[in-house]
C-alpha cells in the first residue's frame, strides 16, 4: 500500500485528492496547521485518513513528520489562496507559499530522497503575459504577492529536481472550482447567490468586471493530473487547464439559466466592486499533459457551473431542515 502525504488536506484540492488516492488504495496522511480547523470537506473520509498538525513554517517538524510517516509521495497543496487576500499580509504569503515549499523540499532531501513530490503551482505566475495560450515555456511575469510566491515555489522545485536529483514536479494549475470552493471566490459567490435567489432568500447579486475571463475547470479533474505526474518515469512540470476561457457574465448566465432565471434581472454590475486587472488573459495549453500524461478534463464548463448551483441549493435546503428539526427538539 503506497503512502501519500497531502499538505492542506482539508482544502478544496486536498479533499478531492484524498478521495482519489483512497480509491487507488493509498494510505493517506493529511496535514493541517490547526487541528480544530474546519474539516467539512473531509468528514465523509475522516475515518479512512490520518491527520497530523504541522506548519510549513516549522522545518524541524516537517522533517519529523517525513521521518515518522515515510510517505512515497508528497503533494504540497497548503497555501494562502484567497483572492481577497492577494495584497493582505504579503510577508506571510511569502512564508507559506514560497519558503514553505523550500522547507518541504529541503526536508525531503534530508530525510528520504526517494520521495516523489508535486508542488501546486498557479497560472498567476504568468501574470501580465501577452502570450495566449500559455505553455510551460511562457516566461513568468507575476503581478501580485501570491503569484510572486508561487513563482518562487515553482523555481525551487525545479532547482531541487536539477541539483538535488529529487523527483520533484510543479503542477501549474489554472482556475479550478467546485462546490467546495470558499465563498470569497467569484465562482462560488455566484453559485451561492443563485441558490439563495432561486429559494427566495435574496434578490440581487452585486459583481464587478463581468467581462473578466478565466480558464475554469473542475478541481476533481485536476487532482488526477497531480497523481499522474508522479507516476511517470521522469519528473517534469505541466500546465493543467481547459484551454478555453469564459467570462464572469458567462458564468452568471449559465448559473441563473439552470434554475430558470435570466441573470440580467438579478446581477448588478457594481462599480464599487471593480478592481484594475492584475493579469493578462490567463488561458493555458495543457497539450503537454495530454500528450505525456494522457490527461484530459472530463467536466465541461456548463456542467461545472450547474454542479456548483445544485450543491448550494442542496446545502441551503439541508440547513433549513436541520434548523427546523432543532427548533422542534427545543420545543419538545
**For residue 75, which of 226, 221, 177 has the smallest C-alpha distance?**
226
Chain centroid to Cα 305, Å, comes to 16
**124 has catalytic annotation:** yes
Per-residue buried b or exposed e for 21-32, using 16+ beta carbons within 10 Å of the residue's own CB: beeeebbbbbbb
Per-residue buried b or exposed e for 265-295, using 16+ beta carbons within 10 Å of the residue's own CB: ebbeeeeeeeeeeebbbbbbbbebbeeebeb
* Alpha carbon separation from 62 to 194, 263, 320 (Å, rounded): 42, 48, 42
**198 has catalytic annotation:** no
- Of 19, 124, 177, 253, the active-site residue reads 124
The bridge status of strand 3-7 relative to strand 27-32 is: parallel
- Of 16, 75, 146, 174, the active-site residue reads 146
**146 has catalytic annotation:** yes
- Of 7, 55, 121, 122, the active-site residue reads 122
Catalytic machinery residues: 122, 124, 146
Amino acid at each position: 500500500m503506497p503512502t501519500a502525504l497531502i499538505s492542506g488536506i482539508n482544502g478544496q484540492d486536498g479533499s478531492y485528492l484524498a478521495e482519489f488516492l483512497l480509491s487507488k488504495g493509498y494510505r493517506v496522511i493529511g496535514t493541517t496547521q490547526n487541528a480544530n480547523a474546519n474539516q467539512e470537506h473531509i468528514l465523509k473520509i475522516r475515518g479512512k485518513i490520518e491527520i497530523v498538525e504541522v506548519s510549513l513554517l516549522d522545518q524541524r517538524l516537517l522533517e519529523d513528520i517525513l521521518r515518522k510517516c515515510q510517505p512515497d509521495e508528497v503533494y504540497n497543496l497548503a497555501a494562502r489562496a484567497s483572492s481577497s487576500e492577494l495584497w493582505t499580509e504579503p510577508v506571510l504569503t511569502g512564508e507559506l507559499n514560497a519558503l514553505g515549499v523550500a522547507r518541504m523540499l529541503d526536508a525531503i532531501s534530508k530525510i528520504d530522497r526517494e520521495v516523489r513530490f508535486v508542488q501546486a503551482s498557479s497560472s498567476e505566475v504568468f501574470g501580465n503575459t501577452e502570450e495566449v495560450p500559455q505553455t510551460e515555456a511562457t516566461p513568468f511575469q507575476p503581478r501580485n504577492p501570491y503569484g510572486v510566491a508561487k513563482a518562487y515555489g515553482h523555481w525551487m522545485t525545479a532547482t531541487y529536481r536539477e541539483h538535488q536529483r529529487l523527483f520533484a514536479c510543479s503542477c501549474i494549475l489554472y482556475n479550478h472550482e467546485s462546490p467546495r470552493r470558499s465563498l470569497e471566490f467569484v465562482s462560488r459567490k455566484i453559485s451561492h447567490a443563485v441558490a439563495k435567489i432561486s429559494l427566495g432568500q435574496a434578490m440581487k447579486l452585486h459583481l464587478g468586471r463581468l467581462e473578466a475571463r478565466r480558464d475554469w475547470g473542475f478541481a476533481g479533474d485536476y487532482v488526477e493530473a497531480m497523481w499522474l505526474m508522479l507516476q511517470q518515469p521522469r519528473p517534469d512540470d505541466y500546465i493543467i487547464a481547459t484551454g478555453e476561457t469564459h467570462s464572469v457574465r458567462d458564468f452568471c448566465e449559465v448559473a441563473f439559466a439552470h434554475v430558470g432565471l435570466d441573470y440580467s434581472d438579478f446581477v448588478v454590475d457594481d462599480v464599487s466592486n471593480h478592481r484594475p486587472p492584475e493579469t493578462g488573459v490567463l488561458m493555458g495549453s495543457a497539450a503537454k499533459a495530454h500528450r505525456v500524461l494522457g490527461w484530459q478534463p472530463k467536466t465541461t464548463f456548463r456542467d461545472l457551473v450547474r454542479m456548483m448551483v445544485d450543491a448550494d441549493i442542496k446545502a441551503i435546503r439541508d440547513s433549513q431542515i436541520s434548523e427546523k428539526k432543532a427548533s422542534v427538539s427545543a420545543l419538545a
